[in-house]
Amino acid sequence: MDDIRERVATRPNGPVRIVRGLLALCAALAWSSSGGALLYDADVLDFSSTGQSIWGTGAGFRKSETRFVGPEWRNQRVTFGEIKGDVSTTTINTNPLWAVWWTCKNTVNVLCGDEPDPKPRTIRVDTRNGATLTLQSSGKVGLEFGYSIDSGTVDSQVQFEALADLPQQPVEKATPIMLNTDSVLDGGVLETRSPKVEAYIAAVMQLSGSIDATACANIPAVIGGCASGSTSLPGVDMNQRILSVDANSLKVLDGVLPGDKPFAELALANQSLTLEAGATAAPPALGFKLTGPLGITLASSLPPTPSITADLASIEVQVPDIATRGGKSGGDRLASSGRDDFISAALDLDGAATIFGGLPPLGLNATLIDVAGFQVGASLDLIDADAGPVLGVTQGFELRPTLMVDLAFSNPVEIAGLAGPQSGWSGRWSDLPAFMLQETTPSRPPSGWNPSSPTASASTWA
């Protein structure tokens, strides 16, 4: 029988298939110390999984995508100017005797003699005149749209102990063997992260290019030929986000200011609203005012003139961002939980006492200018007492891992509940059934066998 190896794999939200170590189970089956049972302990087995979905089985859903809208070109060329003329060759003969010899050679071909000198010579004739300028460019100019989605993920680390009672020696043929296997969850860590969504619009401008120039001149006895040159144009590489949005805010021109700060940022979550009651002197009026982030008035029954107000209540809405971390909880599971605020509401007790109870003002707001989102004012709080509920969101996660094992036998064995000889078995380590060997194991230990270390290999004698 081969060494029995545990094999590891991970299945999200299901049993953890164990992978670690080498069990010399066959050796222990063959012989155990003092003729008694031998306890097999696989020591601590470590397993981990990353990026599993918090919503169901399988890996967490992550997707990022971009789309570009606008013209894009590669190695476009435009040429200005023209070069006229060409380069050719011509033959010049200054020896009349050579022409006679040539005629003789190509007619009668006898008594022509040797080719006379000087022979005709070939000269290069360049008639090119003019100039060209070629612009070559590559680039893209337009808008890029992008988004990313993360469904939230779970990471886990699990430590198991695998135990078994190995039988006395020798093991007789066809004798049922029960290993009484068991496993213990020794510890672990469970971590989760909340879902996230982000999107953006960016202005993109990427330009690169070069200039190639060629000039030709042909002035007899003075100059002749062409000259060429090339130079690169200054490049542009801009990718500026115009608008970007995540769970918390909308950013305008993100990263344009020092320190990668946005030009402007509007909170989409974690918004707060404040209700105030107040009065104006001219014209005399009583009323209420609702202000939002940065003190901007959202609704008001007061005239847009200087006023005195007192806070009555406030409410803040947040987007929960929960990251949890936990460990072993109970004997067979890992657990983690986390909480984040969702809505916080508060009644300003001193302001309510001033408005509705007739007490002297303990906290006042003075507004001098409040028009078109522009506000100038001041606040004074002698005593500030707030009370109210905070509503939150709590997430809890549990992982109940199960130790699994794959057994492989070099010689088939009979396994309880299965028909015929079997070469292997897979299932829960704690559910390993009884099995029978088809031959009796030796009763003598191998040389150097240490019964206190059953994880030693025994494939050479079992």
Looking at the structure, tell me whether residues 49 and 8 fall in a common domain. Answer: yes
Q: Do residues 202 and 297 both lie within one domain?
A: no
Range of the domain at 132: 62-79+127-150+195-267
- Regarding whether 241 and 159 lie in a shared domain, the answer is no
Q: What tokens appear for 361 in the block? A: 């003002």
pLDDT of 360 reads: 56
Residue 92 lies in a domain: no
- Do 376 and 343 have their domain in common? yes
Across the chain, which has 462 residues, the per-10-residue mean pLDDT values are: 30 35 40 53 82 83 89 92 88 84 83 84 86 93 90 88 78 82 87 87 92 88 82 90 84 87 79 81 83 78 81 78 86 86 73 60 63 61 65 80 84 87 87 85 56 38 30
**Domain-located, residue 89:** no
Q: Is the same domain home to 53 and 201?
A: no
Residue ending a domain, choose from 398, 427, 449: 398
Query: 350 with 370, same domain?
Result: yes
In a domain, 112, yes or no: no
Q: What pLDDT score was predicted for residue 32? A: 42
Among 245, 267, 289, residue at a domain's last position: 267
Q: Are residues 164 and 294 in the same domain?
A: no
End position of a domain, from candidates 350, 383, 398: 398
Whether the Cβ atoms of residue 61 and residue 53 lie closer than 8 Å to each other: yes
Co-location of 243 and 146 in the same domain = yes
Looking at the structure, do residues 421 and 364 belong to the same domain, yes or no?
Answer: no
Residue 452 domain flag: no
Q: How many domains does the chain have?
A: 3
Q: What is the pLDDT of residue 61?
A: 85
Q: Is the pTM of this model over 0.75?
A: no
Give the pLDDT confidence score for residue 297 in this predicted structure.
80
The H helix count followed by the E strand count for the chain is 3, 30
Assign 3-state DSSP to the chain and report helix, strand, coil percentages, each to 5.
5, 60, 35
Whole-number pLDDT of residue 80: 92
- What are the pLDDT digits (tens) for 39-55? 777 778 888 888 888 88
- What pLDDT does residue 194 have? 84
Domain contains 93: no
Q: Is residue 338 one of the residues assigned to a domain?
A: yes
pLDDT for position 26: 42
Q: pLDDT value at position 385?
A: 64
Instruction: Assess if residue 459 is contained within a domain.
Output: no
Q: 206 and 156 in one domain?
A: no
Same domain, 136 and 259: yes
Q: Are residues 139 and 256 in the same domain?
A: yes
In-domain check, residue 298: yes
Q: 270: which residues sit within 8 A by CB, 6+ positions away?
A: 248, 316, 317, 318, 319
